[in-house]
Every structure is written in C-alpha cells, then in structure tokens.
Structure 1
Amino acid sequence: MTSPNPMLDRIRAILPDIAARADQAEKERQVPAENIRLLKQTGMHRAFQPRHYGGLEMSLPDFAQCVVALSGACGGTSWAFSLLCTHSHQLAMFSKQLQDEVWGQNPDATASSSIAPFGRTEEVEGGILFSGEMGWSSGCDHADWAIVGFNRFDANGEKVYCFAVVPRQDYTIRDDWYAMGMRGSGSKTLILDKVFVPEHRIQAAKGMMEGQSAGFGLYPDSQIFYTPYRPYFASGFAAISLGVAERMLEAFKEKTRNRVRAYTGASVGMATPALMRLAESTHQVGAARAFLEKTWEDHRVHGVAKQYPTAETLTAWRTNQAYAVKMCIEAVDRLFSVAGASAWFDGNELQRLFRDSHMTGAHAYTDYDVCSQILGRSIMGMEPDPTMI
C-alpha cells in the first residue's frame, strides 16, 4: 500500500540516529553534519523547492508532520533544517534569474536567513551595497545562500522593508550562538561588509505578501506558490513546539514511571497528582495538534483552489499557530515542574525539552502577546497596528 506521506516514513527511519546526536548538537551549538547528510538523503530539503528545479512542492500538512516527528528527536536540528526547507518557498518568490543562480548549478542548495531589517545599505548603480551584523541565522553553517533584511526608500521617500539574497562567499559567520534553548540550531551571526547585491536578488516584503513579487505566477500549476511567503516561512515553529511537547509526554512517562521520593521511598510517578498533570497535558497537546492540523489543512485547501488568502485568513493562520505554541509550552511546563530535581541535570532529556519548548514561543511570529493583539484588532474590524508585523 502506498504511504500517504512517504517523506514522513523516510524521516521516521532516521529518527533514532538524529536523537542519538541530540547531546552532540547541543555541545557543538549547531546541527551535526551527519544529521544534515541523513536529512538531505530523504530529500526533505526540497520540500518547497519548485518542481522546475527538481523540487517536491509538498503540501504544508505533509511537511509539517515531518517537522513534528523530527522535533521529538532533536529540537535544534528540526529548527534549523525546517528553516532551510521553508526558505526555498521564499526564494521561489524572487526573480527567475535569482532562482537560476541558486538552483541552476546546485539543485540541493539551501538558504539560511536573518530577515529583521537591520542591514545598512548604500544605493549604487544596479543594486545596493549591503553591510551589517545579521543575527539569529539558524542553520547557517549548512547553507549555500542567505536571505537578509533591510529597509530602503522608494521614489516617494517611503520606507520599504526588503530582502536581499547573498551567496555564501559574500559573508562570514560569527560563532556566537550561546543560547539557553535550541542550542543545536546554530543560529549564528552573518557578517557582511559592503557586499554588492544586484536588483534581481532583491524583493520587497510587501510584494511577497500581496502576490506582487517577481516570482509570483512563475509556476501556475503549483499548489504551494499561489500564496504569501510568510505562512510557509513560519510554518515550522508551531510544528516544532508540538513535536517537543509530544516527546515531553513520552519522556515524562518513561522517566517518572518508577520514580520514588528520595527520603520516603514513596511512589511519585504513579501517584494521583502526577497522573492528573499527565492527563491534562495530554489533552492540551492533543488539542494543539488538532488545531494545527486544521490550520495546515486550510493552507492546503487554499493552494488547491488557488485562492489567495485574505488578510483575515492570514491573521487566523498566524495567531492559530501562536496559540497552539502557547498550549504546548503550558503542557510542557506542567510536567517539568513536577519532574524532580534530577530533571535539571544537563544530561536529562526533560530539561532540554523544557528549554527548547520555551524557545518556540520566543520568535516574533509566535509571540502570543503580539498575536492576541493582532487577532483582537482583526475581530473588532480595526486597522492593523503597523508596529506589529
């Protein structure tokens, strides 16, 4: 019988190897090269690459399920690799010339990013000179290109948020990723000094959110490119949070089943308070999964119908994922708080899951304090607050 998601089957086959290197990823503060090799063998890095270059153009639900599974093995690996995958969707919104440069000679090429508009630019003939220290570039050690953010001004003097794409030889990587969570993601800083970026490697963010970028419409038969870039770019964050939370449920059961109090010898893991916490977290994680799967399926349905999402739909997609992350973090916290003192040792999986879980809610896209305001304004028919992207 043909599997409904063959990529998920391939990912599951390598999970024991990925999980075995979770501590190595933390110590090295980046994804181990062997993990990247195994993951690329599955072809997952081509999930959102156009078929024109040999890509798979996977549906978002199928992709997200792969990210969930991978996250239970190693959150840092999943964080970095999922972004290397989703950036291909963003690159497909750029000019055909840029896409040919990225994938023409190397169909396996991937890109990391640092898209907050911190870049400093100088307008020159044919493009810009880009300088900056661009942080949080997850998976950059394994990327061939980088997508970096900056602001420029249009003919009317209005500020325009843009992205530039630069090849690996045009920047250096500062090894400064010393973080509490997602240590294995290798989210280091890219250093650029007056790098020339031609116009065909530049796109305005607004155009990429409104179907007006140079690459929009290049693949009329595709079901994943008739959409803004951001929902695909950010799709991994909530999937990672869910995968970490689901693994926390299993790890908590494994590690507390035979736990006893050190001073009294009384059973802890099978006591009523532990069972109640496990039950509530199980319900909460299950609810988060159902909510996310419904949201991911809505992405797929829009793509099949070639129905461009409305502003209200985009708001729902983003805030739904942020709320699911909130639920997953709460479920993890509920269990970790009663896991005992030994759970705090560096070698204990529970503390890694606890730290990685909180990092999934620290991204700008999943910050629920921001998302709840965005949704509230939308519900009440108010104009979006431009200070909240």
Structure 2
Amino acid sequence: MMGFEWKSTMSVVSPGASDLLVRIESILPQLRARAQDEEGQRRLSAETIADLRNCGFITMHLPAAYGGLDLGLKEHFEASRLLARAAASTAWVGSFLAHNAIVVRKFAPEVQARVFGDPDYSGVCGSNQAHASSKAIPVDGGYRLTGRWGFTSGIHHASWAMLSAPIEGGPGGRLFCLVPAKDVTLHDVWHTAGMKATGSNDVSVEDYFVPQECTMTADVFIGDSAPGILADPYNVTIRCPMYRIATLAHPAFALGVAERALEVFKELVGKRKRYWGGDALVEAPTIHMLYALAVCDLRVARLLAEDLVDRTVAGLHASGFSMDDRAYITLSSAASIDASGKVVRELARRSGGSMHFVGVEMDRILRDMSVLLNHSTGDLDYAAESAGSVMLGQGLGRRNAGFF
C-alpha cells in the first residue's frame, strides 16, 4: 500500500455521501478481482452491476422517494474516482448508469416515475453519437425515431437509453429521446485495445415511436426550462447540462486509474531487481525521483480537477457560466486527464517488459488510460485551442457554443 492517503480537499457534505464512499471502498477488491475476466467478456459482469446497485452507486442521483441518495456532483466525482481504483471500465460504466439519472430528472415527474419506479432499475445509458442517417420525424403524440448510435456505454446493463437525432420535417434542431433499453438493437462492435469491459457498442432503432413526454429538444435539454427543473426549481444538480457532467466526471476516472498505478508500481519495485547487477529497484535513486515526480504530477492533476468541480457547482448555483468560466473548466478538465495520463505512461515505461503479459494489472491500466486520453474530453490540444481563443477574446470559432 502507499505510504500516504489520497484525500480530497473538497468538502463532501450531502447526506449519505460518506457512507457511500465507505461502501465503495469495501467492494474494490472484488471488483478488481473480476476485471480480467470482464475484459475477456468485453462487458461488466452481472455480479459487478449488482455490487454497484447494492452499494448505492448507480442510484446516487435518484430522488429519495425512489430509494436514491439524491447526491450532488462533488460526490459523483469522489465516488467515480474511488471506483476507478478498481478498474477504469467499472468506473466508466457505473458513472454513466448513475449520472444519466440527472438527465432523466429533467423530464416531467410522471416520466421520472416510469423510469425510477421500476424495482429492477439499473441505470440509464445514452449516446449523442448518431450516424448520418439518424432522424426523428414528428407524428401525432410524439416522434418516429430511426437511427444508429455509437459508443453506447452501459447498454448491456441499463434499463433505459437516451438517444439523440436531428428532427426531420419539423422545427429542426436536435431531439433527445428516452427509450427502454430492451427495445433497441445492439450491434457488437466494441473490439478495442483498452476500456474493453465498457461494452460501448452501437445500438439502433427503426421507425420506433417515442411519446412526446419522453422527448426533449436540444434547447430545452441544455437550458433551464425543462419540465423536471420547473417542478423541482431548488435542485441545483439537475440543472447541470450533460456536457458539464462529462468534463467533471472524466478527470475522476483518469485520477483513480493513476492513483492505482502508483500503488501497483510501489508494489512492483519492492519486488523487482535489475536484470544487470541484481540491484533492488526500490533502492535506485532514479526510481526515487520518478516516484516523487509522479506523486507531484498527480497532485497537480488532482488540484485542477477539484477546482473545476468547485467552479462547476458554483456556476450551477449562479444559474449560468460565463464564456471564461466554460473555457477554464474545459481546459482544466483536459489538462487534469492529460497529467494523469503522463503519470501512468512514466510509471509503465519503467515497469519492465513483464508488465505486458496478459492479466498483469499495469498492462490493463496503461491500455485503459490510452483510450481515456483519446476521448474528446481528454483532447488537451483541442481544449487549449478553444479555451485560449476565448481567453484572448477571439470567441469559439466553429466550435458549438451550446455544448462548450
């Protein structure tokens, strides 16, 4: 184990938060033990999903009336970071299944009752990655939805799916549709080098009727006039736009993975000796320096992430974000992910050739982090380009301001 604890400087004050973190901590060993088999299956196991439900992770954002903890975004960050110390795929899927409840709470109370009232509720997945032919056609009482969507993390386990598509033959814009997961077709395309167990496959529907109350146009979806917000106006968390949740949650995954990499590396150097000469690695000055700098880099990543979480929550309480706020949050999120990635790369590079054997945890950590870094939220170049343009008074250019 590490000689120090990774404690948050943020205050986690929502009811039930401390107990949730304790419960997550208690199941980390069993989650970690399943990670290798789950990679082979390219999806989480039923046992892992049951653990995430039973500990309260998946239901952390549900209203108390439906057995949820009704926690906020700071708590989501901390819980996701801790869960990522078991496996990145576990945290990724768990986080999506959990935080999409915030989106469902933007819908009218009767829709929420339909979703959250299910005794077998196991979360909501979703995708905004619609293929070009996807469309929503207005009809009496709702829309006919046709399309295919990529990167639908959690589809193997979710009760519902949130899918978006352009509106055709109507007012234009984009429509977000809430669809029972059992009614979508799954396409097994998730064959990847890392994040294998997320099972982020494609899904499709064909001429599927979505009732009006289960749809929401993009302007309502990212604004403050959603039915659920109007019905619960004092709830700050449900006002959070989805793109803000992504920039907040994704650094938590990278941080948790990098924290685990430090643990694994410390155990490794305590056992290994150099091939030439037989000197113990733990006695090498270069290893001392590497480890200390990794701790420092990870602390920088942590401080960036904690600051962006605080700024996100402050923006919700202020009922809005200035462009400068958005620029800083976007940049800090990507910079935190990138800094965590640097820690993992440097540690793995000095972990020896044997770390690349199948089943070695550091190998999985490195591959998972590589995929995390290639997600759009981890694209530091694009984040810096957009944020720098705003900070210099040049605007966003071609980037969509509604999702920045």
Asked whether the two chains share a fold, i.e. TM above 0.5, the reply is yes
Q: What's the CA shift string for 1:90-143, capped at 9, x where partnerless?
A: 111223343232123448341111112333333333322222221211111110
| 2:343 pairs with one of 297, 309, 331 | 331
SS class of match (1:122): strand
Residue 147 of structure 2 aligns with which residue?
A: 132
Counterpart of 2:185? 172
Distance 1:210 1:173 in 2: 31
Partner of 2:287: 274
CA distance in structure 2 between the partners assigned to 1:90 and 1:4 by the alignment: 20
1:270-309 Cα shifts (integer Å, max 9, x gaps): 3122222211111010111122112212333444x45333
Tell me, yes or no, if the aligned pair for 1:147 and 1:166 is still in contact at 8 Å.
Answer: yes
Could you tell me how far apart the structure 2 residues matched to 1:234 and 1:197 are?
A: 29
Aligned to 1:110: 123
Q: Percent identity?
A: 26
Shift in Å, 1:257? 2.1
The aligned counterpart of 2:215 is 202
Q: Could you report, residue by residue, the CA deviation over 1:241-265 in whole angstroms, capped at 9, with x for unpaired residues?
A: 0000011111111112231233432
What stretches of structure 1 of length at least 5 have no aligned partner? none
Q: Report the Cα offset of residue 3 of structure 1.
A: 8.3
Contact 1:50-1:57 at 8 Å conserved across structures: yes
Work out whether 1:340 is the aligned partner of 2:340: no
Note closer, same or farther for the CA distance 1:225–1:180 as it changes in structure 2 (3 Å cut).
Answer: same
SS of structure 1 residue aligned to 2:241:
coil
CA distance in 2, matches of 1:83, 1:169: 18
SS in 2 for 1:137: coil
Q: CA deviation at 1:200?
A: 1.8
Report the more deviating stretch, 137-146 or 163-172: 163-172
d(CA) in 1 for partners of 2:341 and 2:264? 15
1:141 is aligned, of 129, 139, 156, to 156
User: Which is worse superposed, 49-58 or 11-20?
Assistant: 49-58
- Structure 1 residues 311 and 154, CA gap change in structure 2 (3 angstroms): farther
Query: In structure 2, how many angstroms separate the alpha carbons of the residues matched to 1:227 and 1:174?
Result: 31
Supply the distance in 1 between the matched residues of 2:242 and 2:200 (Cα, whole angstroms).
Answer: 21
Tell me the secondary structure at the aligned position of residue 279 of structure 2.
Answer: coil
In structure 2, relative to structure 1, the CA distance for the partners of 1:239 and 1:199 (3 Å cut) is same
Structure-1 separation of matches of 2:240 and 2:111 = 19
SS across alignment from 1:248: helix
Q: TM-score, normalised by structure 2?
A: 0.88
Contact 1:110–1:145 under 8 Å retained in 2: yes
**Separation of aligned partners in 2, 1:88 and 1:103:** 9
1:18-167 → structure 2 map (5 Å cutoff): 18-106=31-119, 108-118=121-131, 119-152=134-167, 159-167=172-180
- TM-aligned CA deviation for residue 70 of structure 1: 0.8
Q: Is the 8 A contact 2:177 2:214 kept in 1?
A: yes
Say how many residue pairs are matched: 385
Deviation, structure 1 residue 227: 3.1
8 A contact 1:87–1:233 mirrored in 2: no
Work out whether 1:309 is the aligned partner of 2:321.
yes
Shift of 1:37: 0.6
Query: How far is 1:153 from its partner?
Result: 5.2
Q: What is the alpha-carbon distance in structure 1 between the residues aligned to residue 201 and residue 344 of structure 2?
A: 27
- Tell whether 2:390 aligns with 1:378: yes
Q: CA deviation at 1:166?
A: 0.7
Q: TM-score, normalised by structure 1?
A: 0.92
Question: In structure 2, do the counterparts of structure 1 residues 208 and 366 end up closer, same or farther at CA, with 3 Å as the change threshold?
Answer: farther
Residue 135 of structure 2 contacts residue 168 of structure 2 at CA under 8 Å; is this kept in 1?
A: no
